[in-house]
Structure 1
Amino acid sequence: MEGDGHRQGPQTGLLHSWAIQRRVIHALVMREVITRFGRHNIGFLWLFVEPMIFTIGVTLIWSALRAVHGSSLSIAAFALTGYSSVLVWRNMPSRVIDSIEPNLSLMYHRNVRIFDIFVSRLLLEGLSVATSFFILTIIFAAIGWLSLPEDPFKVVVGWLMLAWWGCAIGMFVGALSHRSELIDKFWAPLQYLMFPLSGSAFLVDALPPDFAHWVLYLPMVHGVECVRDGFFGSQFNAHYDLGYMATINLVFTLFGLVEIRRASQNLVPA
């Protein structure tokens, strides 16, 4: 009997740790929602409405300007898949940069770690953009602005890859921002420089071959192309390599975890 209990110990301990981890992250998510959106007016619904407003605004502007994107695709479908994809990898890092200092008081709780703060913020941001993307797809399809995805599985895979990239780069720059305040100032202009090269406003197939070759070094381009392949892959020739994107995502995930560990070791609670 003693031996059986000893063998079950590690598994029980792991389940107990996972239960604590879930409660901590859930509490941090709820705290973040209340802190950001409060308890009044539409409250946490603003979490989904905000990215929807941005995406609808870009869609209307592109439609009014008759934006040229190198294909016969509808402007609404192009804007939705492009700008919603940008919000994933742009908003996630922005939410975790400089997030350690304001939450130092939480570090007095032995079960709260920097990793938990990052995960709660990344999870909240990812879910908000994903919900916005899903709702707008249904609305735009209902009013005839676009057709439902041809291959929903590819859309989900591409979206998850973009979310992984957002989490990976978010953890990396978020932990780095604890080293230097310059990271925040560096990331702000960098994300704007990356926007026109991210694949949101063009199809890789419409680019000159030499330029397309260099653009495909950016991991988010592969994710956007995959999402669009799932939406309307029969109407254009998609170019993406999810194996390459997964490799880049994994590398930055490891970099992020290393930086989080370093930041935790040098942390002085307020």
Structure 2
Amino acid sequence: MSDQPSTETKFRLPFSPEWFAELRQSLVIMGRVIFALIMREARTRYGSSNIGYAWAIVDPLVTLAVFIGVFSALGRTSPVPGPIPVFFVTGIVPLFFWRGAVGQSANAVSASLGLLSYPQVMPSDVVIARLLLEGATTVLVFFLFLIGLNMVAGVSPSWFFGDPSQLLLASLAIFYFTIGTSFLSSSLARILPIWKNIWSYMSRPIWILSGLFFTLEQLPTGLRVYMAYNPVAHMVEWFRSAAIPGFDSSAYSILFPMAFATACLIIGLVIDRILLMTGDEEIVS
């Protein structure tokens, strides 16, 4: 009987050359799977024509136009030291991304059951693919907003880059927050099919109460105490504070939404792991 350690034992040793080689191979496979899922999701969601892709831009554009029109008709002024379009864009962009990603994640697994029969495809891959596609679409919409507002309304792009380093940090934080809440949404939908309907109703008031028409800074102290329990409002306030020159809000917290996102991510991943270990009926059927 040989005293040499077996190959299987070597592969399980963390940080060994074999371990890194196996990790690298796994990441390459995962990257290819996610890229393929993104391309499939783009064709499924937007279709093969340019009209489908255009709708992803038209939807937030119409929302922006309606809000600006209502504010102007009511004689309202911008709650921030900048034009009204800047105020609304800095609210619409992060909220559209977060709401869209969480909603898409709720349908991710049920819409991809055929693909999940392949051993290389995991439920988390489908969620990540939808997140990345939603993020890429949001970035495109944001820059089209900048170009359009500059050409039509003369709003300089500098209104959106008050503190570039903080803006990048806030954007990454919003992405992480969306990852955590999206994984929780996906897992809840797998154990509670009714969650998709619950989310469709929940998302509307949350969307409105997350700083789309106001800033936490301008709210009365008593009302701000209650609004502070909404982590999405903190993310929007942080994004606005970083983007808009002259708007430096002290009413938001960085720790609270990050802790909330981490808790959502852990719960979502734990549910996902339990479903995989017990043989999720959605995946094996």
Q: Quote how far apart the aligned CAs of 1:245 are.
A: 1.9
Instruction: Tell me the TM-score normalized by structure 2.
Output: 0.84
Counting only pairs closer than 5 Å after superposition, residues 33-182 of structure 1 correspond to structure 2 as 33-42=42-51, 44=53, 46-68=55-77, 70-142=79-151, 143-146=153-156, 147-182=159-194
Distance 1:117 1:84 in 2: 23
Q: How many residues align?
A: 268
**Kept after mapping to 1: 8 A contact 2:215/2:237:** yes
Q: Which residue of 2 aligns with 1:19?
A: 28
Q: Which residue of 2 aligns with 1:194?
A: 206
- The C-alpha deviation readout for 1:80-110, integer Å capped at 9, x for no partner, is 0111121122111111213322311112211
Other structure's SS at 1:76 match? helix
Structure 2 gaps, min length 5: 11-15
Instruction: Tell me the TM-score normalized by structure 1.
Output: 0.88
Other structure's SS at 1:177 match? helix
Matched residue type, 1:29: I
Q: Quote how far apart the aligned CAs of 1:49 are.
A: 4.9
Matched residue type, 2:242: G
Q: Which residue of 2 aligns with 1:222?
A: 234
Q: Quote how far apart the aligned CAs of 1:63 are.
A: 3.8
My pick for the range that moved more, 231-240 or 81-90, is: 231-240
My pick for the range that moved more, 227-236 or 61-70, is: 61-70
**Residues 20/236 of structure 1: CA separation in 2 closer, same or farther (3 Å cut):** closer
Distance 1:95 1:73 in 2: 33
Structure 1 gaps, min length 5: none
Q: Quote how far apart the aligned CAs of 1:65 are.
A: 4.0
Matched residue type, 2:212: S
Distance 2:177 2:52 in 1: 28
Q: Quote how far apart the aligned CAs of 1:124 are.
A: 0.7
- The C-alpha deviation readout for 1:109-156, integer Å capped at 9, x for no partner, is 110011111111111112211221133124324542352421122222
- The C-alpha deviation readout for 1:185-230, integer Å capped at 9, x for no partner, is 1111111121232112111121111211221221112211121112
My pick for the range that moved more, 38-47 or 15-24, is: 38-47
Q: Which residue of 2 aligns with 1:231?
A: 243
Matched residue type, 1:127: A
Other structure's SS at 2:108 match? coil
Distance 2:97 2:44 in 1: 21
Matched residue type, 2:261: N
Q: Quote how far apart the aligned CAs of 1:165 are.
A: 1.9
Distance 2:81 2:251 in 1: 17
Moved over 6 A (4+): none
My pick for the range that moved more, 25-34 or 154-163, is: 154-163
Q: Which residue of 1 aligns with 2:284?
A: 269
Structure number, greater radius of gyration: 2
Distance 1:148 1:99 in 2: 33
RMSD: 2.5
**Kept after mapping to 2: 8 A contact 1:29/1:124:** yes
My pick for the range that moved more, 67-76 or 97-106, is: 67-76
My pick for the range that moved more, 66-75 or 193-202, is: 66-75
**Kept after mapping to 2: 8 A contact 1:48/1:132:** yes
Q: Quote how far apart the aligned CAs of 1:58 are.
A: 3.5
Distance 2:122 2:177 in 1: 22
